[in-house]
Amino acid sequence: MRLSEFLKRLARDYLLVLAGIVICIVLLNQIYILIYGLDASKFSLGFRQIYAFMICALVGVLPSHIFDFFANPSEKGMRIRILIHFIIVEAVIIVFANMMGWVTGVSASVILALEIAIIFGIVQLLVWKSDLKVANEINEQLKKLKEHVQ
């Protein structure tokens, strides 16, 4: 893989994860406001929180490229890589958040783990949809080529 492709994938994944974090935080705050009947104007994000989200997204994305430089695996091997990646991302982010003091206690760590799982699932769904689109385009081109040859 060329460096430019690697950096493009890294940036795309980073922005997807960052967007997922922001969306989850907004939705969770909205649910919290509705449940407890609080004033929504009291909830605002400062630079410190935004930078925290950005750092967390970066820490979450970096392990995703562990397997980029190995040979192409089978479908089963790819699923195992995704599972290993998910476990590594969960562990790295939870340890990082605890070290930074953003999360303390078991219940907060469990909530963070669930948020990570949701974001990971959304990102995997988007990647799958993108791969499906590319596969369909390749199949269409192959059909056109087959018709042209016959």
| Mean of all residue pLDDT scores within the chain | 83
- Residue 5 pLDDT: 83
On whether the CB atoms of residues 11 and 58 are closer than 8 A, the answer is no
Mean pLDDT of 13-25: 86
Q: In sequence order, which residues have a C-beta less than 8 Å from that of residue 93 and are 6 or more positions away?
A: 56, 59, 60, 112, 116
The yes-or-no verdict on residue 150 having pLDDT over 90 is: no
- Residue 114 pLDDT: 92
SS3 label, residue 72: coil
- Residue 64 pLDDT: 72
Mean pLDDT of 3-22: 86
